[in-house]
Chain A
Amino acid sequence: AQKITQTQPGMFVQEKEAVTLDCTYDTSDPSYGLFWYKQPSSGEMIFLIYQGSYDQQNATEGRYSLNFQKARKSANLVISASQLGDSAMYFCAMREGLGNYQLIWGAGTKLIIKP
């Protein structure tokens, strides 16, 4: 079974609109962390936001916020007031447990912002 599922292969959004990128995860470990990365066409992977399984509040970083619904095992990324520069691939990833070195990655969502 997939540990990280991103169901949207691609999305088109009008500039200045908010956009939600979906991510669901599967783990039985009570300690885990969820990450979102952005990959522009240049290829670099840029860390955006992190949510820990024990965090009481949804994470926010500037225009990025994470809609964390623990019972549903979802960690959707919300980008407010989208900009043309937000066009990129977006990846959701998870680290299970403490002392675990690996990240489990989703397949990604290609986001295109239309002017």
Chain B
Amino acid sequence: SQTIHQWPATLVQPVGSPLSLECTVEGTSNPNLYWYRQAAGRGLQLLFYSVGIGQISSEVPQNLSASRPQDRQFILSSKKLLLSDSGFYLCAWTPRLAGVRNEQFFGPGTRLTVL
């Protein structure tokens, strides 16, 4: 069966510090991978998605970047965090062939607080 991991679970970082959040998927190959951010009490905002190694699409201009160095690894980074980067970050995956279904499966999330 497939599982998706995210770490760390929680993170408190000062403004201006770097960020690295990691997501890995097990039990599948060639997944599509997604990074979302969720502000407190709000819906999900898609930040990045990837259909393959080194292939990253950005949905919104921002202070963050993403990389996919391996097939089942997706990393969210920032060189200098802003207060507005605080939120709950969720990683998700779908099988490669994106039919109309292919529900997204989510990791447990990382709660980031920037002070």
- Listed in ascending order, the chain A residues whose CB lies under 8 Å from chain B are 31-33, 35, 42-47, 50, 52-53, 91, 95, 97-103, 105-108, 110
Residues of A with C-beta under 8 A to B104: 45, 47, 103
Partner pick for A101 among B88, B90, B98, B106, CB 8 A cutoff: B98
Contact A52 B42 (CB under 8 A): no
A44/B100 contact (C-beta < 8 A), A105-B43, A108-B43 known:
no
Contact B103 A44 (CB under 8 A): no
Partner pick for B32 among A44, A101, A106, A107, CB 8 A cutoff: A101
Contact B108 A43 (CB under 8 A): yes
- Listed in ascending order, the chain B residues whose CB lies under 8 Å from chain A are 32, 34, 41-44, 46, 49, 51, 59, 88, 90, 92, 94, 98-109, 111
Partner pick for B106 among A45, A95, A100, CB 8 A cutoff: A45
A31/B100 contact (C-beta < 8 A), A44-B106, A105-B43 known:
yes
Q: List 5 A-B contacts (CB under 8 A).
A: A31-B100, A43-B108, A47-B103, A47-B105, A101-B34
Residues of B with C-beta under 8 A to A100: 98
Contact A52 B101 (CB under 8 A): yes
New A-B contacts (10) at CB < 8 Å, excluding given A43-B111, A44-B109, A98-B100: A44-B107, A45-B92, A47-B104, A50-B103, A52-B100, A91-B43, A91-B44, A95-B98, A105-B43, A108-B42
Contact A106 B43 (CB under 8 A): yes
**How many Å from the CB of A61 to the closest CB on chain B?**
12
Residue of B at shortest CB range from A92?
B43
Please measure, in the bound complex, the distance between the C-alpha atom of A101 and the C-alpha atom of B88, giving whole angstroms: 21
Please measure, in the bound complex, the distance between the C-alpha atom of A95 and the C-alpha atom of B102, giving whole angstroms: 9
Please measure, in the bound complex, the distance between the C-alpha atom of A48 and the C-alpha atom of B49, giving whole angstroms: 22
A107/B108 contact (C-beta < 8 A), A45-B90, A50-B101, A95-B100 known:
no
Contact A44 B101 (CB under 8 A): no
Contact A107 B98 (CB under 8 A): no
Please measure, in the bound complex, the distance between the C-alpha atom of A45 and the C-alpha atom of B109, giving whole angstroms: 9
Please measure, in the bound complex, the distance between the C-alpha atom of A33 and the C-alpha atom of B113, giving whole angstroms: 34
Interface-centre pick from B51, B99, B111 (highest chain A CB count, 10 A): B99
Interface-centre pick from A32, A43, A95, A100 (highest chain B CB count, 10 A): A43
